[in-house]
Structure 1
Amino acid sequence: MSDHHTYKKIEIVGSSRNCVDEAIRNAIAEASKTLENVEWFEVGEIRGHVQDGQVAHFQVTVKIGFRLKNS
């Protein structure tokens, strides 16, 4: 077994009508459907969509790190 790991990092945007936390969780859940070995995340930006003077959606840019196979 290897004593080191190699990771790849991607950037995606998650959204939610309810809150920032849910937007982050939605992004991670969707990424985990197609990526293996998702191990960490970092939040880069938080923004939102305003409609009729109210927050309609929270949008969060999330960098997701996953371990490459055989590393």
Structure 2
Amino acid sequence: MRKPKSFEEGSAALQQVLDQLSDPATPLDKAIKLYSDAAGLIAYCNETLEHARLEMERIDLSLPHSSSTEPAGEEDILA
């Protein structure tokens, strides 16, 4: 299986693999290959989400008032 180009593509591919795995007509040898594909797609999606989380944290740290753990109020946004 080729590496997805985006999280959305990886997520869609994973859903297709899971659909095939849940089909009782899927032969065992194909199910094992699908299971391997699913594991790779899950790893890719998790890595992509972790990268996005770290990027959002980096952005948050660069904002003024980033030390506050409370959500910004309307007055903070308009200031």
Q: What is the TM-score with the length of structure 2 in the denominator?
A: 0.27
Which structure ranks higher in relative contact order (CA pairs < 8 Å, sequence separation ≥ 6)? 1
Q: Decide which structure has the larger Cα Rg and report it.
A: 2
Normalised TM-score (structure 1)? 0.30
